[in-house]
A and B are shown apart, each in its own frame.
Chain A
Amino acid sequence: MSGPAWLQLAVFLGLLIALAWPLARAIDAVMAGRFALGQRLEAPLWQLAGIQPGQESGWLRYLLGLLVFNGLGLLAVYALQRMQHVLPLNPQGFGAVTPDSAFNTAISFMANTNWQGYGGESTMGYLVQMLGLTVQNFLSAATGLVVVIALVRGFSRHSAKAIGNVWVDLTRATVWVLLPLSLLLALFFVSQGVIQNLSAYLQASTLEGGAQTLAMGPVASQLAIKMLGTNGGGFFNANSAHPFENPTALANFVQMMAIFLIPAALCFVFGRMVGDRRQGWAVLAAMVVMFVGFVVAATTFEQQGNPVLAALGVDQAASAWQAGGNMEGKELRFGINASSLFAVVTTAASCGAVNAMHDSFTPLGGMAPMVLMQLGEVVFGGVGAGLYGMLVFAIMAVFIAGLMIGRTPAYLGKKIEAHEMRMVAIAVLVTPLLVLLGTALAVTTEAGRAGIQDPGAHGFSEVLYALTSAANNNGSAFAGLSANTPFYNVLLGLAMLFGRFGVIVPVLAMAGSLAAKQRAAATDGTLPTHGPLFVALLIGTVLLVGLLNYVPALALGPVAEHLMLWAR
């Protein structure tokens, strides 16, 4: 990696931690009900809705609330798309979205995935973008946030039957965390040149005398929560590679920062809630170490360039005149460093926004984002989803350590017993199952193979990436796969739905069982979970358990393609 790339990474991480620390304090106060102004403003809402904010519930009722809430969200987004042609704020007169695409998109935005089989500016009117997709960006992020808060309450409470009031938590996460941050960020993006209007599309004449249609729309307001909520669904088809959605290098940097901001802050919230801030730092340290490793790998492979072009005598070396490396599919405005960093950030988190085409990355450069998703997106991860995924791995790490030293495993004073390990097993296995079975189904059926653009190993990578992205709720696309077909819309829709709730269910079940346990004091024999040894153990567990499931599939895709490319 070059000097500027290291500098960019250092500034990024330094600023991230500086911003996440105070935000964690605010999130902790809001979710614990210590935000006095908020409580006063909430009171009439509770009265209107007939909710007793002090009445908390067990995990099953908490989950039921989430399922009803998300089910209604799915129904609303589906209905808006299907009735788009008769709804206002549709200046381009787009017709109703097809049922299979509407099904896929409704699940996608409910599950915080934002996989997009459609092209935003050629499919969705402004009302659907604002009332359907943007609203769901807030609500799906709030869902992830409240699940992790419930899990952390499981650790911090003892002998308790309740893990919180789902309606109170969802309201506070949306209104006092996500909305204010999104408002500030949207204003910043407008200052950078991101558009925000309800105009019909403009017709422009190019310098060559041709005609060009310029898509318009309320982009900034959707962009802010797209990043902060780790949603990632672009207003435009080109996502954050579009100049109206990512106009400047500063906007690009802030977009990356926004993706990681809440997931990083939640690590500190975790430390605060369990009464030992070192625990939050330990989890964050594991995330940072893995993140830096993947940034170095992706940037190095992209900077290495393409051997086929090298054989043709193309100069791909970095110099004062050019960035060098593999520039296919990258914005000249951002180059290798900002594109590779963005790709790693967006797939480490469950965002899925892109500022470059991952399909055009070198085989191993493209494998880096794919592997990050396959780890379960626990390296910062999605809002809430990243931390609860990492805590699942932390429980597994203490269990493995317990087996090695022959003691009953315990994490944060809570004994890890058979039930917790069963829940961990479900949470860890559900996504690889969806990815691998889904990929196998796609490459062995005519309908699945019909969507593949490139034959051979690269085509396999396109399918594997799509299933990986869907089941892990990332939403980024490798491109090259024609996925807006009934087959892929249904297959990926199911992968997104079960990938989301197949993990949330065991996590909340664990929250319930942990909350009911006594919290034992640490003794000399307790494995410390705040030091470098545990950080190393946690990283090892994530890499081994997360990655081993996918090694054969990766060998058939990106690894085979790399060997074929470099053997020429």
Chain B
Amino acid sequence: MDFIYLGLAAACGLVVWGLACLCQRLQPTGGGRS
């Protein structure tokens, strides 16, 4: 059961990271990286 909930949390983390990558792609300069 623990793995289901922790897996769900990890999947949510990946969705958030996916949103971040999308925001990065939307940036016209592709800037933000150092």
Contacts and interface: CB of A to CB of B under 8 A. Distances in A.
Contacts of B19: 426, 501-502, 505
B9 to A, nearest CB: 6
- Chain A, interface SS category: helix
Contacts of A64: 17, 20
B13 A516 contact: no
Interface residues of A, number: 41
Contacts of A519: none
A61 interface: yes
Given A58-B34, A490-B8, A516-B29, A501 B23 contact: no
A71 B20 CA distance: 16
Interface in B10-30: 10, 12-13, 15-17, 19-20, 23-24, 26-29
A505 B33 contact: no
B32 A60 contact: yes
Nearest to B19: A505
A103 B17 CA distance: 20
A497 B1 CA distance: 20
A102 interface: yes
Contacts of A162: 34
A513 B31 contact: yes
Contacts of A56: 34
Interface in A138-173: 161-162
Interface residues of B, number: 25
A375 to B, nearest CB: 23
Most buried by A among B10, B29, B32: B32
A417 B29 CA distance: 12
Nearest to A63: B20
B20 A75 contact: no
A78 interface: yes
B34 A103 contact: no
A140 to B, nearest CB: 15
A512 interface: yes
A417 B12 CA distance: 30
A513 B9 CA distance: 29
Interface string A406-435: 000000000001110011001000000000
Contact of A509 (B16, B27, B34): B27
A161 B32 contact: yes
A67 B9 CA distance: 12
A75 B6 contact: yes
A140 B19 CA distance: 21
Contact of A57 (B10, B13, B29, B34): B34
Contact of A513 (B5, B6, B27, B33): B27
Given A497-B12, A501-B16, A509 B1 contact: no
Contacts of B20: 60, 63-64, 505, 508-509
Interface in A42-82: 56-61, 63-64, 67, 71, 74-75, 78, 82
A58 B12 contact: no
Nearest to A55: B34
Contacts of A63: 20
A487 to B, nearest CB: 14
A509 B32 contact: yes
Contact of A423 (B6, B13, B23): B23
Contact of A516 (B15, B17, B26, B32): B32
B27 A419 contact: yes
A506 interface: yes
A542 interface: no
A99 B31 contact: no
Contacts of A494: 12
A342 interface: no
A490 B19 CA distance: 21
Interface in A84-138: 99-100, 102-103, 106-107
A60 B26 CA distance: 13
B10 to A, nearest CB: 8
A261 to B, nearest CB: 30
A60 B9 CA distance: 20
B9 A498 contact: no
Contacts of A103: 5, 8-9
A512 B16 contact: no
Contacts of B33: 58, 60-61, 161
B16 A498 contact: yes
B17 to A, nearest CB: 7
A99 B5 CA distance: 7
B23 to A, nearest CB: 4
A395 to B, nearest CB: 15
Contacts of A502: 16, 19
A107 B10 CA distance: 12
Interface of A: 56-61, 63-64, 67, 71, 74-75, 78, 82, 99-100, 102-103, 106-107, 161-162, 417-419, 422-423, 426, 490, 494, 497-498, 501-502, 505-506, 508-509, 512-513, 516
6 contacts: A58-B34, A78-B9, A99-B2, A100-B5, A161-B33, A509-B27
Given A58-B31, A508-B20, 15 more contacts: A57-B34, A59-B32, A60-B32, A60-B33, A63-B20, A99-B1, A99-B5, A100-B5, A107-B9, A418-B28, A419-B26, A502-B19, A509-B32, A512-B27, A512-B32
Interface of B: 1-2, 4-6, 8-10, 12-13, 15-17, 19-20, 23-24, 26-29, 31-34
